[in-house]
Amino acid sequence: MTPTATAGTRLVHTVDEVRAVVRQVRASGGTVALVPTMGYLHEGHMSLVDRARELADWVAMSIFVNPMQFGPKEDLARYPRDLERDLEMARGRGVDLVFAPEVGEMYPHGEPQVSVVPGALAERMEGAIRPGHFRGVLTVVAKLFGIFHPDVAIFGQKDFQQAALIRRMALDLDQGVRVEVAPIVREPDGLAMSSRNVYLSPEERERARALSRGLERGLALFSAGERDADVLRASLWNALSVPGVEPGYAEVVDPLTLEPVVQAAPGAVLLVAANVGRTRLIDNAVLP
């Protein structure tokens, strides 16, 4: 059953409107999926919508560039935004509702006094490089869960640490939301799709392939029998150590604790981060 499927994609800007529509969906017995995004949509986001459609009757997407998850020196002001284009894409994929609030709607009293403390999963990798980032992510996602009360929410594997933290938050805070993680969608040359790819000049775009190339090499080493995680880390790091790329980290971690592993085993995750010019890129691959 798709309660509002015939109505097309509805655009709303306020929490009250969302609550009213979700009430109607619930009243007609529909289940609710939420795809939280910061907009500037690409095929990676669309794959989350497709997964949402498989899992629930009614699919909502939020588009909100959340200031709370950007550090003072990060790209909040220049983060790409194009609501018209996003709406076209959402319509094309049958999203039932797009929630695109202003900052004042999400944070009417400024930055919230009470926020979500991420804990140990946020201490390393992105959390170490971007202090406060995951507090901002978890707080806005908790707010979105509180606004929509979705049955299921879908996130992309590209942000592996983020997805692990959100899953853990839903569990630890009994939010009653099933957290689904959908696979990374890649460009034909391997680069993981990201809204931030738009920042890359043609030369930088070429250099950015170092991340996925490194992961491919790591996967190949693992397939060839290498189990020493330090050897895999060194191989990832080497792949990032090329002119025009500034490596951030190269890790092999346990998928649940995100702690570095000594021996690589199926299910462990290779994670890389690097700066290409002014653009920060991340990528990962799960060992098969």
Catalytic residues: 45
Q: How many CB atoms lie within 10 A of CB 189?
A: 11
The stretch near ligand PAF (CB under 6 A) out of 99-107, 133-141, 185-193, 255-263 is 133-141
Q: Residue 257: what are its φ and ψ, rounded to 5°?
A: -90, -20
Residue 86 in contact with ligand PAF, rule: CB under 6 A: no
Residue 151 binds ligand PAF, judged by CB under 6 A: no
Buried b (16+ CB within 10 A) or exposed e, 34-52: bbbbbbbbbebbbbbbbbb
CB nearer to ligand PAF: give 137 or 253.
137
> Quick check: 159 binds ligand PAF (CB under 6 A)?
yes
Assess 197 for contact with ligand PAF (CB under 6 A): no
In 3D space, the residue among 132, 91, 92, 139 whose CA is nearest the CA of residue 112 turns out to be 139
Q: Where are the alpha helices (DSSP H) in 107-182?
A: 126-129, 133-148, 160-172
State which of residues 4, 9, 66, 157 lies at the interface with ligand PAF (CB under 6 A). 66
Could you tell me if 218 and 89 are in contact, meaning their C-beta atoms sit under 8 angstroms apart?
no
The answer to whether residue 46 forms part of the interface with ligand PAF (CB under 6 A) is no
Asked if residue 137 binds ligand PAF (CB under 6 A), the reply is yes
- Residue 36 as a binder of ligand PAF (CB under 6 A): the answer is yes
Contact segment (CB under 6 A) with ligand PAF among 12-20, 30-38, 172-180, 263-271 equals: 30-38
Choose the binding region for ligand PAF from 10-18, 32-40, 50-58, 237-245 (rule: CB under 6 A): 32-40
* Dihedral Cα 209, 281, 240, 206, nearest 10 deg: 30
| 164 is a contact residue toward ligand PAF (CB under 6 A) | no
The answer to whether residue 38 forms part of the interface with ligand PAF (CB under 6 A) is yes
DSSP H stretches of helix in the chain:
15-27, 43-55, 83-92, 103-106, 126-129, 133-148, 160-172, 202-207, 209-223, 229-240
Residue 141 within binding range of ligand PAF, rule CB under 6 A: yes
Which residues would be at the binding site for ligand PAF (CB under 6 A)?
A: 36-38, 66, 69, 137, 140-141, 159, 162
